[in-house]
Amino acid sequence: DTGVSQDPRHKITKRGQNVTFRCDPISEHNRLYWYRQTLGQGPEFLTYFQNEAQLEKSRLLSDRFSAERPKGSFSTLEIQRTEQGDSAMYLCASSLGSDRVHQETQYFGPGTRLLVL
Amino acid sequence: AQTVTQSQPEMSVQEAETVTLSCTYDTSESDYYLFWYKQPPSRQMILVIRQEAYKQQNATENRFSVNFQKAAKSFSLKISDSQLGDAAMYFCAYRFTQGAQKLVFGQGTRLTINP
């Protein structure tokens, strides 16, 4: 299966600890998105990469959050000094697009469910 | 800022019947896309159907069709001949054609199929 994969699928951590999630997009996709989904809500945009460049960050992405996409392939999302309010599903999506092509579909991974105790 | 509203937290339908899920959105843009995504329990989100705002014709994908009313900023999803596998959370989403092209999602509607 060559879909979007995320690791780990589940993470339980104690408040104050740092966590890192990984996303592997579909291999030829140049765009990568991170979203956060809390229970009973729709996903909310966190950040966006085109190749290795992080082009947009949401206000939801506090200073404790950092994302990278070295070499334009996989991406990592790190949360430092986790808080209970960080408990959520973190979704990654990828797409193939350009400034001239607007019709690309975002394909989602299975998500990483984070629980902060 | 763009917003998407789904006013039906839960819906249910008998197997083989038809159900319509509602969605309204707010935007000042004229060129955008609208989507319905399906999120089955403990499974990843998948695209159900997409509508380009510049197209007047409503999109259709097999048993799934939309009623796109641009002036009213309404975008409903009709599922015909409902099947047990249609049970899921359904999210309506908006995407502007410029910039990051991030998706803006509604709160979701949980659809239950009764056998």
Q: Model confidence over B44-102: pLDDT tens digits?
A: 899 999 999 988 899 999 999 999 999 999 999 999 999 999 999 999 999 987 776 79
How far is A69 from chain B, CA to nearest CA, in Å?
A: 16
Structure confidence at residue A100 (pLDDT):
59
Structure confidence at residue B43 (pLDDT):
83
Q: Which of A45, A55, A58, A106 to mutate to test the interface with B (most CBs of B within 10 A)?
A: A106
Angle at A59 between CA A55 and CA A65, to 5 degrees: 75
Distance CA(B60)–CA(B70), nearest Å, equals 17
How far is B108 from chain A, CA to nearest CA, in Å?
A: 6
φ and ψ of B24, to 5 deg: -125, 155
Residues of B in contact with A31 (CB under 8 A): 101
Of the candidates B89, B82, B79, the one whose C-alpha atom is nearest the C-alpha of residue B115 is B82
Distance CA(A99)–CA(A115), nearest Å, equals 37
Is B33 in a helix, a strand, or coil? strand
Of the candidates A30, A107, A36, A29, the one whose C-alpha atom is nearest the C-alpha of residue A65 is A36
Structure confidence at residue B56 (pLDDT):
87
CB contact under 8 A, B102 and A102: no
Residue range B25-56, pLDDT digits in tens:
999 988 899 999 999 987 889 999 999 998 88
How far is B15 from chain A, CA to nearest CA, in Å?
A: 25
φ and ψ of B108, to 5 deg: 100, 155
Residue A97 at interface with chain B, using a CB cutoff of 8 Å: yes
CB contact under 8 A, B52 and A111: no
A10 to chain B: nearest residue by CA?
A: B42
Residue A78 at interface with chain B, using a CB cutoff of 8 Å: no
Structure confidence at residue B92 (pLDDT):
98
Distance CA(B86)–CA(B103), nearest Å, equals 22
Helix or strand run (H / E) with residue B36? strand B32-39
Distance CA(B91)–CA(B82), nearest Å, equals 17
CB–CB of A114/A38 below 8 Å?
no
What whole-number percentage of chain A has pLDDT above 90? 79
Distance CA(B90)–CA(B13), nearest Å, equals 14
CB contact under 8 A, A111 and B93: no
Residues forming a β-bridge with B105: B93
Nearest by CB: B107 against A41, A91, A111: A41
Structure confidence at residue B49 (pLDDT):
96
Of the candidates B98, B90, B91, the one whose C-alpha atom is nearest the C-alpha of residue B32 is B98
**Tokens representing A23?**
């996303």
φ and ψ of A107, to 5 deg: -105, 130
Residues of A in contact with B99 (CB under 8 A): 56
